Amino acid sequence: MKTVVITGVSTGIGYAAAKIMIARGFRVFGSLRNEADAQRVQSELGEHFSPLIFDVDDAQKIAEAADCVREALKGETLAGLVNNAGIAVSGPLLEVREEDYRKQLEVNLVGPFLVTQAFAPLLGVDAELRGEPGRIVNISSVSGIRGMPFLGPYSASKFGLEGYSESLRRELMLFGIDVIVIGPGPVKTAIWDKAEEVDMEQYGASPYLPMLQRFQKVFISQGRDGYPAELLGEMICTALTIAKPKVRYAAVKGTLMEKLLMRVASARTLDKAIAKMLGLRKPA
């Protein structure tokens, strides 16, 4: 039985990917942040799921988790590592708190770096292990190739992850380990219920407040109309198992005209369209 490690499996994309990989005959080790979630997910996913409790910015706990997986593999290679865990910090870049911006980068960018360093030996960097080299799947976002207002911290982390992944893919050719990026748009998860509860009063004196309120409504609406998490789980499974995977998969909803506009329109044209939609224009 092949084994994969997936970070952030308590809900959403990570949970869906774990469920689908188990259904395909894999054993899954999944990271969670607390014991309560670990017990719940283990109960729901069954005997072929094993929880690993760590935060992706805690190098010591990650190393301990990697040792646990190494012991379970009994000399075999790890088939896949999915760097999925992440958070989204939003707000005007001129007003986001420094600690929130740093936390965004720590979780979404430093996290995959630490997890990959810890688990790379099991994927085939350690030549003493038996079996084919594994693959790494990094979960990015449409925000990793397109920056939207009020998602600056999140976009910065995902743009960074895209560059990190490309460099990593080329370096790991030495070991036969492939690196694939998946960049979804909005996905239907419980995060949108939480987004609706975000208190905008912290920006009560901000000149951005009306635009933030408009953006929140548009953002939540798009999220609730996004792709189901199961589709992303299937995409992760494909990236880990298909003979010749693409280097990047996208899952973004929208009409053909909208997608064409985003692809061919100039940056200035898109600036104007976004400014009109959100009211981001300097008063006359």
Active site residue 154: yes
Locate 129 and state its tokens.
């292990």
- Residue 208 Cα distances to 107, 202, 221, 243, 282, angstroms: 26, 11, 20, 48, 11
Burial (Cβ within 10 Å: 0-12, 13-18, ≥19) of residue 91 = buried
51 strand-pairing partners: 30
d(CA 216, CA 218): 6
Catalytic residue (choose from 154, 164, 208, 249):
154
Residue type, 190: A
The secondary element (H helix, E strand) that includes residue 23 is helix 12-23
> Which of the residues are catalytic?
154
